[in-house]
Amino acid sequence: MSVVLENDLARLVLSESGCAESLILRSTGEECLSPAEPVPFFSVTQDRPFNNEVKLAHPNKRTVYPANRIRMEKTASGARLTVGFDLAPYEAVVDVTVAPRYFAFSLADWIVPDSAYPGLAMNTPPAAEFRLIALSVPHRAHFGAWLNVSWDEGAAVCVLAADPTPRIDSEPFRDRRVLTADAVREIRLKGSTAALICAPSDAFLDAVDDLERDYDLPRGVESRRCSAINASAYWTADCTPENVDEHIRYAKAGGFRMMLLYYTCLFRERGGYALNGNYDWRDEYPDKRGDARRMLEKIHAAGITPGLHFLHTHIGLDSRYCTPDADPRLHKVRRFTLALPLDEEDTVIEVEEDPEGCAADPRCRILQFGGELVSYESFTTERPYRFTGCVRGLRGTTVRSHPRGEVGGLLDVSEFGASSCYLDQETSLQDEIADKLAEAYSAGFRFCYFDGSEGAIAPFEYHIPMAQYRVWRKLSPSPLYTEGAAKAHFSWHHLSGGNAFDVFPPAVFKEMIRRYPDEEAPRMREDFTRLNFGWWGFWLPEGRDDGGTQADLIEFGTCRAAAWDCPVTIQTNLSAFRRHPRMGDILEVFRRWEDVRARGLLTEEDKEEIRRSVGEFILLLPSNGEYELTPYRQIRTGDPRVRAYFFERRGASCVVFWHTEGEATLRLPLDHPITLTREIDREPLRFDVDSGNGALLLPIGGRAYLAAAADEETIRRAFASCALV
């Protein structure tokens, strides 16, 4: 008899033989399964056959045994299913929760007959994985690979985790996609829970919200609906109680509502990430957390929300976790057993295992035996296996003798500068670091960035989000939203802001914005998520052929971001901010776009126009206070220090132009009448124009505007021949 499960939104039918027969969206009657041959809803995977008859009759290899029978008992929360398999001589017990807007499947137990593995001293059953859900669904207009949801304007079908342990994935075929959820032995089999949502698209996020609340997960839906989710961030690595007022002035001038403080604002650091993990307060915080709290109160009082940016999986190689005694909880990518005793003066280490494939980069050639770190020059790949050219007591660790049989390993050194290594998420060290970060966060931070998130151990699809989650769940109050350097399925619930792209220099800035965040933004929308259009560096113009950071770069990037309802992040540098001659213009561009973003002034038509366009736009603010989004295009100038853009407004030919490095007089060979008017922008030209010898002499500094009774080609020729005098 078929198994029928039904909630307010959908009706799922499983055949008696264990396949999904039907998934009906109740509101429309739409069949949401692929018409292709059904796939087994459940299956079990073993590394090889173990019971004698199957072992002798079939190949000894990793094998999937599909479900071939199901029987159901009703329960108070839904149902209990007993699942049998081809060849595998046992059954799985699956508890099903039928909630109003989702179904949840949890591996509850195994039924293993005494006759299944007679005479074998082993844990039974020898299951490596158990498939909790497998659904074959037709392709729809959108597929969110992060959340694992297939959807269009009418319906959404999603297989997602209800706790951090299931492995969620999908496999595409020509005419369909198979959505899967697996419980994995190395993580958890019994108790691992995955959910199935089939919903009208406009009710899908509400269904996910139900699941998050019922299972006490981070509130990914709630945070995505937070008013701050699209606010850009002012990022600083050097904000302290001594200079916080200056940072606040710049942040307010740029209209920023969020300020992201790198951990170096609070804690001592050197040489990249070399002290990471210590989290020793800087001298500017004699009262430690108390001083931090008072500084953050200032930021809050200015109407700005502070966030904390940290590297939660990195351990600095000069930290107390590495020297003078390296912590055993540092992650090793390879394990090695000493084949001979290692005395204090030895520079050759003989091991039992083949070192083939060990780190070749000289910065990463670090072994750990006990509390001692040792570098090596080379190794042999035939017995006797040896590490040669060893330097003992690396990073100031204590040189010791090590007995034959001691197990050590190759340290998992971070590829980002090799000033840190990665901790082992299987140990308590991740929680120890989380406690330190949570203590700092509680000073008044409200959002955070999980940097270095890729620095986790395999399986990455589990440990990347789980390392973040082990920190997240200690943060109080819960962050409004978070971002991170890497994501996997479960992190959808807490990485509600997605990932930020790293720094692009001015010469390639616009190209890289188009190539990366602009390309990813529509894909992230398929996961009902925004991304951050990047951590934008800041460069002074002097000595650079590309002019350094200028207002048109900020205009381009934040315009593209706003079109996708995404924020940006500016990396600040007080010294450069103070010296940049166009700082006012740059901050004004930020301020305008943040105002538009906060007030929701960009229409859907505006957004679509920007997304489709290969050109650029400027956000004008005439004296009437109503923003005008206007296409504009760069024109060549006779001096690289002059930057100019042409646009048309109300039948007039207009130009916005400025000096990238300072103040001067611009000789512009244009004898047509010009108009200087507040109707173009709130910051009109405030000077007299001298005309003579067929040229205009204009003072030039910050962004200014002119309107000329001339066609575009005439204006282009004039600016192409302009000069600073």
CB 627 within 8 A of CB 600: no
Is pTM beyond 0.85 here? yes
CA dist., res. 521 & res. 517, Å (int) = 6
Cis omega before residue 384 (within 30°)? yes
**Kindly report the CA angle at 416 between 414 and 418, in degrees rounded to 5?**
55
Question: By CB neighbour count within 10 A (0-12 exposed, 13-18 middle, 19+ buried), where does 362 fall?
Answer: exposed
Give pLDDT, residue 708.
82
Nearest to 30 by CA among 141, 212, 154: 154
Residue 127 contacts by C-beta under 8 Å, 6 or more apart in sequence?
44, 45, 46, 110, 185, 189
pLDDT of residue 686: 45
Nearby residues of 629 by Cβ (< 8 Å), 6 or more positions away: 602, 606, 609, 610, 617, 618, 619, 620
The reported pLDDT for the residue numbered 498 is 78
Note whether 234 and 258 are within 8 A (CB). Answer: yes
pLDDT of residue 679: 62
Specify whether the CB–CB gap between 211 and 159 falls below 8 A.
Answer: no
Sorted by sequence, the CB contacts under 8 Å of residue 247 that are 6+ apart come out as: 234, 236, 239, 259, 572, 574
Using the Cα atoms of residue 318, residue 321, residue 326 and residue 331 in order, give the sign of their dihedral.
Answer: negative
328-360 confidence digits (pLDDT tens): 999 999 999 999 999 999 999 999 999 999 999
Rounded CA-CA distance 538/335 in Å is 43
Contact 388, 376 (CB under 8 A): yes
Q: What is the DSSP pairing of strand 723-724 with strand 233-236?
A: unpaired
Radius of gyration of the chain measured on its C-alpha atoms: 31
Name residue 201's amino acid: S
What is the reported pLDDT for 37?
A: 87
Return d(Cα 534, Cα 567) in angstroms, integer.
8
Q: If you search the block for the tokens 């706003």, which residue do you land on?
A: 562
Both tokens of 74, joined, read 């009703």
pLDDT for the residue 687:
46
Contact 551, 509 (CB under 8 A): no
Q: CB under 8 Å to 121, separation ≥6 — which residues?
A: none
Q: Are 535 and 503 in contact (CB under 8 A)?
A: yes
Q: How far is CA 271 from the centre of its chain?
A: 25
Q: Are strands 385-388 and 102-111 parallel, antiparallel or unpaired?
A: unpaired
Q: If DSSP codes are grouped into helix, strand and coil, which group holds residue 126?
A: coil
Indicate the DSSP class of residue 248.
Answer: H
Burial of 526 (0-12, 13-18, 19+ CB in 10 A): middle
DSSP string, 337-405: EBSS-B-TT---EEESS--TT---STTT-EEEETTEEEE-SEE-SSSSEEEES-BSSGGGPPP--B-TT
pLDDT tens by residue, 66-111: 999 999 999 999 999 999 999 999 999 999 999 999 999 999 999 9
Low-confidence ranges of the chain (pLDDT < 70): 671-679, 682-693
In whole angstroms, what is the distance from residue 299 CA to residue 664 CA? Answer: 38
Angle (CA) 456-486-550 rounded to 5° is 135
SS3 assignment for 495-514: CCCCCECCCCCHHHHHHHHH
Question: Distance from first CA to last CA of the chain, Å, rounded?
Answer: 91
Beta bridge partners of 170: 179
609 near 582, Cβ under 8 Å?
Answer: no
What does the pLDDT read at residue 691? 59
Whole-Å CA distances, 315 to 334, 363, 423, 432, 578: 18, 15, 6, 12, 34
The rounded distance, in Å, linking the Cα atoms of 28 and 722 is 66
What's the rounded Cα separation, in Å, for the pair 141 and 208?
20
β 102-111/91-99 pair status: antiparallel
- Judged by DSSP in three states, 127 sits in coil
